[in-house]
Each structure stands twice: as structure tokens, then as C-alpha cells.
A and B are shown apart, each in its own frame.
Chain A
Amino acid sequence: MNEKVMRNHRKRQTIIFSIIIIVLTYLSSDITNFNIIHGIATLPEAVKWIFSNLFINGETLERLPKILEKLAETILMSIAATTTATVVSIFLGIMGSKTTGTSTALGMFARFVASIARNIPVVAWALILLLSFGQNSVTGYLALFVGSVGFLTRAFIESIDEASLSAVEALRATGATYFQIVYKAVIPQCLPQMISWILFMIETNIRSATLVGILTGTGIGYSFDLYYKTLNYNAVALVTFSIVLSVIVIELISNHIRKVIL
């Protein structure tokens, strides 16, 4: 009996929940004049267009060296932005973590900086920095750098907080100084997670770098934008394909590194 009541109750909950979702979906599409049926109906058309226009032919392959050069520029910029951001984030992370933080004021400062850097999207950062630095790779680098600092600081604070306090206590009892404790007990414990986050950040930055490049006119994003606006869709296909391929390769490499260090 009891079981039956519970099952009925569960059923009613599911039905109510489904109705709410359907109503919400209908209302929002109605308000925005978006027709779902129409959207789905045009899907085959879109796919057809993609296959008829976005393919790589022999002519576009001639542009490959130039595209690869731009791609390398983007990848290197992403890595540079991540590594420099890492240095800053380690200090902010140590300041911001409860385990290693020395004063609440510094901790608040670190978390505040991280929060601002993280909560403004990278694209917005790129547009803001564009005004003061102009269309060049420095702008793109800075946008990625700021975004990375925000994210990595947050991740490092979490990693350091998770590290066990027991070794810290033991080192404190031997008379070790603050920095000795940080370097000998805290960092060794959270290094694998930190490296994992750094690799993740490099992957993310390569993806964002494409978008940022469209805005700042640098790297692979600029090539994409250029070919797109000159209606050279075959070249666009090649650029997209090379980005996808490089992201996958980077992901595979970092997965392998993760496996080795963890």
C-alpha cells in the first residue's frame, strides 16, 4: 500500500514536471517568434548547404601552409597566456586558500580578483581591451591571460583547500617556516590537480583563442573571419577542420600526461 502511494506520488510529480517544461518551451518560443517545427524543417537544408559548400578541395590545400602558420601562432599564444597566468594564479591561489592564506584581507583580494576576471567572459575582455590596445596579438594574449587567471586561481584555491592539513601540521611542529611548509607540504600534494587544471586551461584557451582572434584580427580566428567574409567557404572548411584536429590532438596529449602524473 505504502509503496503504491509513493509510486503514484512519484508519477504525479513526473507528469507535473513535464507539463511545466512543455508550457515553458511553448511560451518562450511564442514570445520570441521562434517556430520549433520550422527550425527542424530547415535542418536538412542547412546540412545540404554545409556539404555542398564546406568541403576541402585541392585549390584550398595550397593555402594550408599559411593556415598552419596562423594555427601555430594561436596555439603558442594560448600556451603563453596559460603559463604566465599560472604563475600569477599560484600566488593568488596561495593567498586565497584558507589552508595557506596569511590574512583575510589578502584572501579577499585574491578571491575578488579571480571573481572579476572569471565572471566577465573572455570575449567581453577582448572587446574591452581592444579599445586600449588595438587590433593586435597583445590584446588577444591579454584577454586569454585575464580569463585564465580568473579560472586558474579559483581552481588552485580549491585544490589547495583539498590538500590534507596533516602534513602541514607536522612540518609546523618541526619548526619549518611558512614558505617551506607551502613548498614542501602543500604544493607536492596538489601538484597533480594543478597540472591537470593547467592542461585543461590550455585546451580551453585554444578554443577561445579562435573566437578572440576573430575580434582582435590575429591568429587562426583572423583567417577564419577573412575567408568567411570573402565567401571562400572551402578555405573556411579547411580552417575549421585544422582547428578541430589540433584541439583533439592537444586533448589526447594532455590526457596522456594526466595519466602519467596521476
Chain B
Amino acid sequence: MSLVKVEKLGKSYNSQTKVLKDISFEVGSGEFVSIIGPSGAGKSTLLRCINRMVEIDEGKVIFDDLDVGSLNKKELRKMRTNIGMIFQHYNLVPRLSVIENVLHGRLGYKTTLQGVFNKFTEAEKEHAFFLLKKLGIEDHAYKRCDQLSGGQQQRVGIARSLIQEPKIVLCDEPIASLDPNASKVIMDYLKSITMELNITCIVNLHQVEIARNYSDRIIGLSKGGIVFDGPSYRLATDNTDEIYGTKTVETRKLVTV
């Protein structure tokens, strides 16, 4: 049974250009999927259509048997609690401590007042510390986030998404601003999330090699359309050429998707 089902998804920010056109794919539970493609191919938009951070123009997105596009505000918030999100720039509140940032992940489960007045249960706090320990940053729990390195901040981001107890984690270029070492650490953690917790991961990536090494399946996006969808080992040079538009038209025609 698929967890996410995207049907003929289309999106445009203005009337002239379509960012996404006719996108269809399914992702099952516990899958690790990478979306690769050049800048401006629509990767971020596609990811944000799944939790409706951007509105869906055409087609449908089904998450966990819910039609994402037709949910009202309250239902949408409830659905988002099941979807973790990790960002390129970590998107933490820099002046708050690590533990406060992690607990932000629980806000979706709280009423407005509980959230505003920091009414977190002991279990939630313990869970937060458990996650920080697992990610190796429990020593920094009371430090301000802007004092941490990029790799550590991204781990805070991961902890914030995991404390939501999500069914899926959407990662928008999680390693694009990190050095190779920190990138490896982050990718290893993301991989272990799917392996140990059986949480689906959809990761936007720039690095084809990393996508091939870590993911079960790769979706190649170019100019708003899917040009490759298959297991990582089947991604050949021809495919990447087509995705990144590095070869001439003749070779592109030969590729069967």
C-alpha cells in the first residue's frame, strides 16, 4: 500500500511558466526516495505540494488516504503533524535553545494555549532528550542554536522532525550547505531513520552519487516533469545527462524512461 500518491500534479506560480506538469508517482512505507534534478526543476515545489506548504493547482496528492488538496485548515494541520520536514538552511529559531527548537516539533499536537505557554509533558521532554542523545548532540541541549555548527544544526532539525513521530520525512536539500563529512553524517542518520523506524524519506538532492548510494529509488526531475523513475542501480549516465541536460538532443531521444 502506498503512503503518498501523486496524480497528475501541476503547479504554476504565474500564468506563463509551469513549475510542475503532469507529475505522477507513488511512494510506499519505509521507502527512501531521492529526487534529483537541476536548480529550478521544481524539486522544492514538488516536496512542498506533498504537505501543501504550496497550494496544489492541478491533479491530486493523496497522503495516508487523505486528499491533501481538499483538507480544511484544521485537517491540514492535523495531517502535517504526520509529516516531518527538514530544510537546507535548517530553519531553526536561532535565539532559542536546542531543546526548545526540538520541542517545536510537538506544537502540532498542542492547543494554541498549551503551545504558547510551553506546556510540554514529561514524556515529550524525555523523548526530546532521547532523540538528542541518539543524534549525538545531547551535550548541546541548552545551548543557543546559533552557536552550533551547520551539521549540528541540521541534526537539531532532524530531531525536531522525528519528535513529531511522523510517517514520512520530507528533506529539502538537507546537505546542500554542509561539508562532505557533515553531509555523510546527516545522510547516515536519514538512512537509519528509514531502516530502524520504518519512516519514509523523500530527499531532494543535488549530488547524484549520494543519491545513488543512499536511496532505494531515484526520481529524476527536469523542467517540471519526471524524466526518470526507478531503482537507484538502474540510473545510468544517459539518465543523468537527460536530467541535467548535459547532452545533445539526439542522445536524449534514445533514452526510454
Given A174-B164, A183-B116, A188-B93: A169 touches B108 (CB 8 Å cut-off): no
**Interface residues of chain A: helix, strand, loop or mixed (majority):** helix
* Structural contact, A167 and B112, CB atoms closer than 8 A: no
Cα–Cα distance between A139 and B83 once the two chains are bound (Å): 55
In the assembled complex, which residues on chain A have CB atoms less than 8 Å from the CB atom of B89?
Answer: 166
B160–A174 touching, CB < 8 Å: yes
Q: What are the residues of chain B within 8 A of A191 when measuring CB–CB?
A: 95
Number of chain B interface residues as a range = 35 or more
Task: Chain A residues near B79: list those with CB within 8 A.
Answer: 175
* Complex: chain B residue closest to A167, CB-CB: B93
CB pair B91–A184 under 8 Å, yes or no, is no
Q: Is B18 an interface residue (CB 8 A)?
A: no
Q: Which of A170-184 contact B (CB under 8 A)?
A: 170-180, 183-184
Determine the distance from Cα of A191 to Cα of B93 in the docked complex, in whole angstroms: 12
Assuming the contacts A188-B93, A191-B95, asked whether A174 and B104 have C-beta atoms less than 8 A apart, the reply is yes
Residues in B with CB closer than 8 Å to A192 are: 95
Most buried by B among A167, A172, A192: A167
B247 at the interface (CB under 8 A from A): no
CB neighbours (8 Å) of A177 from chain B are 77, 107, 111-112, 115
Do the beta carbons of B83 and A173 come within 8 Å of each other? Answer: yes
A175 and B77 alpha carbons, distance in the complex (Å): 4
- A residues contacting the other copy or chain, number (CB 8 A): 21
**Contact residue among B53, B76, B104, B109 (Cβ-Cβ distance under 8 Å from A184):** B104
Closest beta carbon of chain B to A90's beta carbon, Å: 14
Q: Using Cβ atoms and an 8 Å threshold, which residues of chain B touch A174?
A: 80-81, 84-85, 104-108, 160-161, 164
Contacts of A167 in B (CB 8 A): 91-94
Chain B 63-112 residues near chain A, CB threshold 8 A: 76-81, 83-85, 87, 89-96, 104-112
Does A173 contact B77, Cβ atoms closer than 8 Å?
no
**Residue pair A170, B116 in contact (C-beta under 8 Å):** no
Contacts between chains A and B (CB distance < 8 A), count: 87
Take A174-B164, A175-B78 as given contacts and tell me if A180 and B107 are in contact as well, using a CB distance cutoff of 8 Å.
yes
Measured between beta carbons, the chain B residues less than 8 angstroms from A204 are none
Query: A189 near B: Cβ within 8 Å?
Result: yes
Q: Which of A21-37 contact B (CB under 8 A)?
A: none
Contact indicator A171/B95 (Cβ below 8 Å): no
Q: Are B93 and A185 in contact (CB under 8 A)?
A: yes
- Residues in A with CB closer than 8 Å to B160 are 170, 174
CB pair B116–A180 under 8 Å, yes or no, is yes
The answer to whether A180 and B112 touch across the interface, beta carbons within 8 angstroms, is yes
Interface residues in A152-166 (C-beta closer than 8 Å to B):
166
Which residues of chain A come closer than 8 Å to B85, judged between CB atoms? Answer: 170, 173-174
Report the minimum CB–CB distance from B106 to chain A (whole Å).
8
Interface pair A169/B91, CB less than 8 Å apart: yes
Within 8 A of A (CB), among B197-239: none
**Residue of B at shortest CB range from A191?**
B95
The verdict on B51 contacting chain A, using a C-beta distance below 8 Å, is: yes
Contact across chains for A188 and B53 when beta carbons are under 8 A apart: no
Tell me the bound Cα distance from A179 to B116 in angstroms: 7
B-side contacts of A175, CB under 8 Å: 76-81, 107-109, 164
Measured between C-beta atoms, what is the minimum distance from B163 to chain A in Å? 9
User: Assuming A173-B53, A176-B107, A177-B77, is B93 touching A189 (CB within 8 A)?
Assistant: yes
Least CB distance, A200 to chain B, in whole angstroms? 20
Tell me which of B53, B76, B84, B110 contacts A180 (CB under 8 A).
Answer: B110
Q: How far is the CB of B32 from chain A (nearest CB, A)?
A: 20
A185 contact set on B, CB distance < 8 A: 93, 104
When distances are taken between beta carbons in the complex, the residues of chain A under 8 Å from B51 are 173
The CA-CA distance from A254 to B84 in the complex, in Å, is: 42
Residues 157-177 of chain B, each 1 if its beta carbon lies under 8 Å from chain A, else 0: 100110010000000000000
Residues of B within 8 A of A188 (CB): 93, 95-96
Q: A172-B80, A177-B107 are in contact. List 12 more A-B contacts (CB 8 A).
A: A166-B87, A170-B92, A170-B104, A171-B107, A174-B108, A174-B160, A174-B161, A175-B76, A177-B77, A177-B112, A184-B96, A189-B94
B contacts, CB < 8 Å to A? 51, 53, 76-81, 83-85, 87, 89-96, 104-112, 115-116, 157, 160-161, 164
Q: List 23 A-B contacts (CB under 8 A).
A: A166-B87, A166-B89, A166-B90, A169-B87, A170-B87, A172-B53, A174-B81, A174-B84, A174-B85, A174-B105, A174-B161, A175-B76, A175-B78, A175-B79, A175-B81, A175-B107, A179-B116, A180-B116, A184-B93, A184-B115, A184-B116, A185-B104, A189-B95
